[in-house]
């Protein structure tokens, strides 16, 4: 034993550690000292026997697990603030069985001037908690270990904390479908092994399916994330399937207030990861508070939506659509508004995406259609003038139910003609060769409803949509009003001309100024919708507004 170079004090101090422990020379990772527990775990009779059979630390490590450790050993940092490093490996025992070990180690300079590693090890007994697919520690162990690390973070002087990272393989299901389950498992294995390679000191677990959580030592993990993602990309060979990461840098404040709540950080990292799910250009996102607000909003929507529907807090507002030729009203668009007694008006942007995600949007859309029909019926009964209303349907409505049959039911229930309803379907709802939607659109039109293409020009495949689906009218996206260049004017003129050639009616959205309205009229756009003629309003305000602005046609 080379214990003579070691202070007795070090061994004494470390004998307080309730587990396996050893000291290694920092030059060659040879054993300087092993304690009784380690000798016992490794299955030897004495420290001498163990060190004779295994002179170096690597001799007790399964070779394939040694590679990530090698990187830690090779780093040449040694000073008072050297941070602890995490270790995970399978230990080879004297009888050739394997034992999973987790631990930490720290570099240290002895009084004699020698540099050593102090290595503390704990066997992971909860082998059932180990992920059989990737070999990573199970979530339960992860949370347990992570909590310990976090506590030790809060005790250190340095203001750096471990970073929480969440990983997800976007479109992993697609990979499984195309290549089979076995290949899917291999991809998970590959991901785990790359994560281990690039984050040798991190705690890593697979939470579910293709979701990984990590607690990393790196101050800046972005480069390592890019490397893992890059390597995976070439392994997968399909750009639509890619690794995404969400990063949370804990500050001392949040760490102190919710130090033990590791799952809280994992949730936040998850949110950051979700925020770039559909952004092909991004690999990682750092959590910020706006993402937290999003969770709050989502929670609010999910727990209050049904009650709000029942209490009548969700109502249609109406925005006028005006004919450019005579400046008179030709229809209105019904737009959902949630008027909460405490929070005030909640805009659709703050609840529709969550309802779509949760596939609850049909509840909203059918409610808005029904309320709109009720309002039209009232006006017919009161012998007031009525105008057609357009209603919005989401893609999810068509996937989950039959909006056409629903509309037919409404027509019968309120005894109204079909021409009073225009169906708006947004361009982004339509994918290539979408038989279902093509059929649904035709069915609506054959029955006598007008079907309008919403947000035309906002996607990548506008012309393809025009070619493959039959619409009555296109609503040109409001983005076209925002730019005033010669080019954008030319583009608008060509869109109008193109639509005319194809026998489509035209409506421009988001028109706010007289200048925009005049230009649209001059190039032959038939209808205008926008703040210039009125914002969305509740049904009473809509009546007053249209009377004041003399938008109603006299004959009506």
Q: How far apart are CA 89 and CA 62, in angstroms?
A: 7
Q: How far apart are CA 179 and CA 187, in angstroms?
A: 10
Stated length of the chain: 556
HSE of 540, CA atoms in CB hemisphere, 13 A = 0
Q: In degrees to the nearest 10, what's the CA dihedral of 276, 280, 283, 289?
A: -20
> Which listed option, ligand C2E, Ca ion, none, makes contact with residue 531 (CB within 5 to 8 Å by class)?
ligand C2E
Residue 486 DSSP SS3: helix
Say how far residue 337 (Cα) sits from the centre of its chain. 25
Task: Indicate the residue among 334 and 373 with the shorter CB distance to Ca ion.
Answer: 334
C-alpha pair distances (Å), 421 with each of 233, 404, 535: 48, 12, 20
338, β-bridge pairs: 314, 346
> Which listed option, Ca ion, ligand C2E, none, makes contact with residue 235 (CB within 5 to 8 Å by class)?
none
- Least distance from C-beta 368 to ligand C2E, angstroms? 4
Task: Indicate the residue among 19 and 353 with the shorter CB distance to ligand C2E.
Answer: 353
Q: What is the DSSP string of 95-149?
A: TS-EEEEEEEEEEEE-TTS-EEEEEEEEE---GGGS-TTT-PBPHHHHHHHHHHH
- Least distance from C-beta 392 to ligand C2E, angstroms? 4
* DSSP 8-state assignment for residue 279: -
Taking CB under 5 A as the rule, does residue 455 contact Ca ion? yes
- Least distance from C-beta 491 to ligand C2E, angstroms? 19
> Which listed option, Ca ion, ligand C2E, none, makes contact with residue 419 (CB within 5 to 8 Å by class)?
none
- Least distance from C-beta 375 to ligand C2E, angstroms? 14
- Least distance from C-beta 509 to Ca ion, angstroms? 5
- Least distance from C-beta 525 to ligand C2E, angstroms? 14
- Least distance from C-beta 355 to ligand C2E, angstroms? 8
Q: Mind spelling out the 3-state secondary structure of 262-273?
A: HHHHHHHHHHHH
Stretch that binds Ca ion, among 140-148, 247-255, 447-455, 529-537 (CB under 5 A): 447-455
C-alpha pair distances (Å), 427 with each of 232, 436, 460, 511: 33, 15, 9, 19
553: alpha, beta or left? (left if phi > 0; alpha if psi -120 to 50)? beta
Contact 264, 288 (CB under 8 A): no
> Which listed option, ligand C2E, Ca ion, none, makes contact with residue 163 (CB within 5 to 8 Å by class)?
none
Taking CB under 5 A as the rule, does residue 102 contact Ca ion? no
Residue 383 DSSP SS3: coil
Taking CB under 5 A as the rule, does residue 365 contact Ca ion? no
Task: Indicate the residue among 198 and 338 with the shorter CB distance to Ca ion.
Answer: 338
- Least distance from C-beta 372 to Ca ion, angstroms? 13
Q: Looking only at residues 476 through 505 of this chain, which bind Ca ion when binding is defined by CB under 5 A?
A: none
Taking CB under 5 A as the rule, does residue 424 contact Ca ion? yes
| Tokens at 400, concatenated | 């989950």
Q: Where are the alpha helices (DSSP H) in 312-415?
A: 352-357, 361-381, 395-400, 403-414
Which stretches of the chain bind ligand C2E, using CB under 6 A?
319, 335-336, 347-349, 352, 361, 364-365, 368, 392, 394, 426, 454-455, 478, 510-512, 530-531, 536
Task: Indicate the residue among 32 and 508 with the shorter CB distance to ligand C2E.
Answer: 508
Task: Indicate the residue among 203 and 364 with the shorter CB distance to ligand C2E.
Answer: 364
Task: Indicate the residue among 55 and 401 with the shorter CB distance to ligand C2E.
Answer: 401
User: Out of 134, 392, 462, 506, which residue is the one contacting Ca ion (CB under 5 A)?
Assistant: 392
> Which listed option, ligand C2E, Ca ion, none, makes contact with residue 155 (CB within 5 to 8 Å by class)?
none
- Least distance from C-beta 203 to ligand C2E, angstroms? 42
- Least distance from C-beta 335 to Ca ion, angstroms? 7
Number of chain positions touching Ca ion (CB under 5 A)? 4
Taking CB under 5 A as the rule, does residue 427 contact Ca ion? no
Taking CB under 5 A as the rule, does residue 454 contact Ca ion? yes
At CA 213, angle to CA 210 and CA 216, rounded to 5?
A: 140
Residue 518 DSSP SS3: helix
> Which listed option, Ca ion, ligand C2E, none, makes contact with residue 530 (CB within 5 to 8 Å by class)?
ligand C2E
HSE of 536, CA atoms in CB hemisphere, 13 A = 17
Task: Indicate the residue among 131 and 454 with the shorter CB distance to ligand C2E.
Answer: 454
- Least distance from C-beta 517 to ligand C2E, angstroms? 11
Ranked by CB distance to ligand C2E, the top (closest) residue is: 530
Task: Indicate the residue among 136 and 335 with the shorter CB distance to ligand C2E.
Answer: 335
> Which listed option, Ca ion, ligand C2E, none, makes contact with residue 536 (CB within 5 to 8 Å by class)?
ligand C2E
Residue partners of 320: CB distance under 8 A and separation at least 6:
329, 332, 529, 533, 534, 542, 545, 546, 551
Taking CB under 5 A as the rule, does residue 210 contact Ca ion? no
HSE of 200, CA atoms in CB hemisphere, 13 A = 17
| Tokens at 555, concatenated | 């004959």
Which residues contact Ca ion by CB under 5 A? 392, 424, 454-455
């Amino acid at each position: 034993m080379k214990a003579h170079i070691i202070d007795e004090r070090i061994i004494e101090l470390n004998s307080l550690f309730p587990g396996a422990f050893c000291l290694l020379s920092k030059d060659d990772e040879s054993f300087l000292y092993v304690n009784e527990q380690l000798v016992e775990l490794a299955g030897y009779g004495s420290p001498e026997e163990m060190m004779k059979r295994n002179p170096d630390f690597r001799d007790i490590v399964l070779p394939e697990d040694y590679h990530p450790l090698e990187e830690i050993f090779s780093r040449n940092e040694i000073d008072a603030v050297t941070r602890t490093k995490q270790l995970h490996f399978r230990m080879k025992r004297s009888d050739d069985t394997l034992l999973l070990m987790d631990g930490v180690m720290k570099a240290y300079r002895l009084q004699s001037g020698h540099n050593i590693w102090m290595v503390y090890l704990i066997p992971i007994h909860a082998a059932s908690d180990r992920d059989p697919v990737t070999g990573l520690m199970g979530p339960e162990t992860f949370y347990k270990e992570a909590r310990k690390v976090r506590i030790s973070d809060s005790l250190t002087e340095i203001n750096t904390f471990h970073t929480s990272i969440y990983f997800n393989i976007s479109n992993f299901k697609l990979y499984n479908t195309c290549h089979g389950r076995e290949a899917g498992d291999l991809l998970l294995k590959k991901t785990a092994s790359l994560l281990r390679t690039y984050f040798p000191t991190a705690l890593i677990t697979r939470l579910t399916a293709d979701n990984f959580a990590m607690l990393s030592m790196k101050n800046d993990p972005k480069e390592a994330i890019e490397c893992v993602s890059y390597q995976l990309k070439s392994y997968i060979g399909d750009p639509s399937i890619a690794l995404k990461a969400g990063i949370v840098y804990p500050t001392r404040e949040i760490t102190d207030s919710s130090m033990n709540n590791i799952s809280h950080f994992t949730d936040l990292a998850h949110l950051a990861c979700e925020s770039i799910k559909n952004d092909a250009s991004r690999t990682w996102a750092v959590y910020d508070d706006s993402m937290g607000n999003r969770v709050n909003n989502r929670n609010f929507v999910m727990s209050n939506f049904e009650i709000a529907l029942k209490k009548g807090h969700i109502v249609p507002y109406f925005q006028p659509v005006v004919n450019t030729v005579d400046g008179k009203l030709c229809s209105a668009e019904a737009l959902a508004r949630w008027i909460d007694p405490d929070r005030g008006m909640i805009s659709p942007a703050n609840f529709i995406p969550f309802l779509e995600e949760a596939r609850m949007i049909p509840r909203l859309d059918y409610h808005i259609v029904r309320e709109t029909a009720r309002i039209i019926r009232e006006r017919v009964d009161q012998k007031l003038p009525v105008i057609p209303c357009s209603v919005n349907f989401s893609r999810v409505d068509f996937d989950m139910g039959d909006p056409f049959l629903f509309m037919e039911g409404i027509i019968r229930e309120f005894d109204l003609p079909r021409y009073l309803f225009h169906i708006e379907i947004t361009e982004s709802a339509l994918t290539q060769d979408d038989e279902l939607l093509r059929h649904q659109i035709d069915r609506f039109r054959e029955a006598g409803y007008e079907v309008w293409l919403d947000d035309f020009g906002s996607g990548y495949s506008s012309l393809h949509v025009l070619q493959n689906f039959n619409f009555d009218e296109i609503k040109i996206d409001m983005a076209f009003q925002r730019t005033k260049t010669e080019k954008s004017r030319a583009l608008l003129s060509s869109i109008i001309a193109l639509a005319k050639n194809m026998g489509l009616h035209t409506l421009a959205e988001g028109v706010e100024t007289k200048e925009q309205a005049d230009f649209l009229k001059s190039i032959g756009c038939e209808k205008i919708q926008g703040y210039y003629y009125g914002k969305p309003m509740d049904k009473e305000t809509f009546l007053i507004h249209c009377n004041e602005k003399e938008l109603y046609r006299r004959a009506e």
